[in-house]
Structure 1
């Protein structure tokens, strides 16, 4: 098993001492009904920060893309483009430090989420059973993936699968919406009239810096004790997940495009890894992908680490080609 560089996670997680002390991740949740858990709570571990220690954002300031001059061209952003509204870009330089953004456009509420430890970037509809939920970061992890909580019932939600795992909403699935990672340069070229999330105010965070230096080239993920992926795939290799299928980014980068299982996935160079260099803009080029159906419509998907796909979809299908 590899080890993380000494300073790589300290600024973001402050985790090593807390984990060593064996913090009970279920402590401090008096309003959460743990009798309804649908997962083994022994799999839940404290990430070393308390509830809201990583502060989620609500209704962030958005500015015209043409006015944003502080982002480097290769910096990754999570793009959300709903029909009839201006496309929106959420830079990973901010999501790395906040992980959840509760937003709304045209009266439609959605959550933009990013778990750096799994590289999982997903967008969800915040409407559940006629109620609009808002989400926060619990400070807990399962299979190294962020556990979110909703502020209305304090139910816990597994970010990588978008499902309630503890509390009133245990077993409830959030609706995942199309969203994709691409470079700022790519977004700006495709959506010159789009908007971009502005730098959050009131937080002392070194935006643009990567607190997980070298993480995606380590041998083993942080606070993960599960199995290695099959087929000799590195635990921290990126894979494109669509449903319960996964394509390795390595394969996609070699062929450029595949059409399989009813989807077309395209890869092109130009987007930096947010989990590589100390400055996100200097991260190595890992490329960017789009996932579309036969009609050319963007599909919900995720670009996550292989270990996380195997942990949450142990019976999933690996699309290896050949």
Structure 2
């Protein structure tokens, strides 16, 4: 099995190198401005599916959280709590198969995103200069992270940092909004009047994990970059706040950490979405809530260590004493 995976990786990487010349992409992307780029095209490879082969969701249906019967208490959801109106939970069981949900909450267009290969789950303000953008999945990867595209200009965006990398919006930054991954039971407890995304009308194996044992494997899939420093396992989860990263192993040991103006609280109860075939049966990796010194939720991410190192090579590793 490992030898087969290695061969598949090598083939896909070689295909990516062949298609590094943007002229090879123009047939599929005739409206993308490839003269504008902030990255090396050689770093961009095919992830396998074509453009929209992983279908993003537009205008998701939502139901009252109390009426949801399909989710297990331990299943992970991505929670977004707007200033006005009920909090919303976006189950990872759906994001696993769609990766992007385009929604409007309290009048604000948002992009709810999840890249399984990096475990990067973030919510962005989907406006640039007041214009709403709607996002799809390009089928391309860079450092194993999803490259999104916007339907309005066909620009490409790096999901892990929310930044345009190719096209009209190359160099443009999306605003990340406070959101966090937690277990379904915790969402219900804190937001009994909340809403949850309903099951999409697609034929997908919702609730199952197509990346069995991924977060305990020896190497990230389709990643050829450097390993993180300090002997940190490439697939160790970290909490990223701007350019700082706290390893999950340290958080589990301490339970809570207060430093650098950030308060981090870890609690057990969340199943890993990238462990067992059945997401609800995944091992307990726990959840982290991240707040500032005033107790306000702040924007953060929980990627794998390799992804933090790839996109923040000069980032600060918060290792403690």
**TM value normalised by structure 2:** 0.94
Q: Is the 8 A contact 2:9 2:221 kept in 1?
A: no
Alignment match, 2:97: 97
For each residue in 1:218-237, what CA deviation from the matched residue of structure 2 results, as whole angstroms up to 9, or x when unmatched? 11101111000000000000
Pick closer, same or farther for the CA change 1:168–1:310 going to 2, 3 Å: same
**What is the CA distance between 1:17 and its match in structure 2?**
6.5
Taking the TM superposition and a 5 Å limit, the aligned residue runs for 1:236-247 are 236-247=235-246
Q: Is the 8 A contact 1:127 1:133 kept in 2?
A: yes
- Structure-1 separation of matches of 2:100 and 2:162: 13
Q: Is the 8 A contact 1:183 1:270 kept in 2?
A: yes
Pick closer, same or farther for the CA change 1:151–1:15 going to 2, 3 Å: farther
- Structure-1 separation of matches of 2:282 and 2:3: 17
- Structure-2 separation of matches of 1:37 and 1:89: 34
Alignment match, 1:206: 205
**What is the CA distance between 1:20 and its match in structure 2?**
5.6
**What is the CA distance between 1:129 and its match in structure 2?**
1.5
Alignment match, 2:19: 24
- Structure-1 separation of matches of 2:4 and 2:237: 20
Taking the TM superposition and a 5 Å limit, the aligned residue runs for 1:258-273 are 258-273=257-272
Alignment match, 2:255: 256
- Counterpart check, 1:85 vs 2:85: yes
**What is the CA distance between 1:91 and its match in structure 2?**
0.3
- Structure-2 separation of matches of 1:140 and 1:247: 28
Alignment match, 2:216: 217
Q: Is the 8 A contact 1:15 1:47 kept in 2?
A: no
Pick closer, same or farther for the CA change 1:143–1:16 going to 2, 3 Å: same
- Structure-2 separation of matches of 1:5 and 1:88: 40
For each residue in 1:193-235, what CA deviation from the matched residue of structure 2 results, as whole angstroms up to 9, or x when unmatched? 001000001x110000000000000111011110000000000
Consecutive unaligned residues in structure 2, runs of 5 or more:
none
Task: Count the aligned residue pairs.
Answer: 314
**What is the CA distance between 1:24 and its match in structure 2?**
2.2
SS of 2:303's partner is: strand
Alignment match, 2:318: 319
- Counterpart check, 1:228 vs 2:223: no
For each residue in 1:41-91, what CA deviation from the matched residue of structure 2 results, as whole angstroms up to 9, or x when unmatched? 100000011000000001100000010011000000000001111000000
**What is the CA distance between 1:156 and its match in structure 2?**
0.4
For each residue in 1:96-138, what CA deviation from the matched residue of structure 2 results, as whole angstroms up to 9, or x when unmatched? 0000000002211001000000000000000101210000000
Q: Which runs of 4+ in 1 moved over 6 A?
A: 14-17
Alignment match, 2:285: 286
Q: Is the 8 A contact 2:111 2:123 kept in 1?
A: yes
Alignment match, 1:148: 148
Q: Is the 8 A contact 2:12 2:45 kept in 1?
A: no
- Counterpart check, 1:113 vs 2:113: yes
- Structure-1 separation of matches of 2:302 and 2:3: 22
SS of 1:149's partner is: strand
**What is the CA distance between 1:321 and its match in structure 2?**
0.3
Q: Is the 8 A contact 2:9 2:222 kept in 1?
A: no
Larger displacement relative to structure 2 (105-114 or 152-161):
105-114
Q: Is the 8 A contact 1:3 1:219 kept in 2?
A: no
**What is the CA distance between 1:268 and its match in structure 2?**
0.2
Alignment match, 1:75: 75
**What is the CA distance between 1:5 and its match in structure 2?**
8.1
Alignment match, 1:9: none
Pick closer, same or farther for the CA change 1:16–1:193 going to 2, 3 Å: farther
**What is the CA distance between 1:19 and its match in structure 2?**
5.3
**What is the CA distance between 1:3 and its match in structure 2?**
4.1
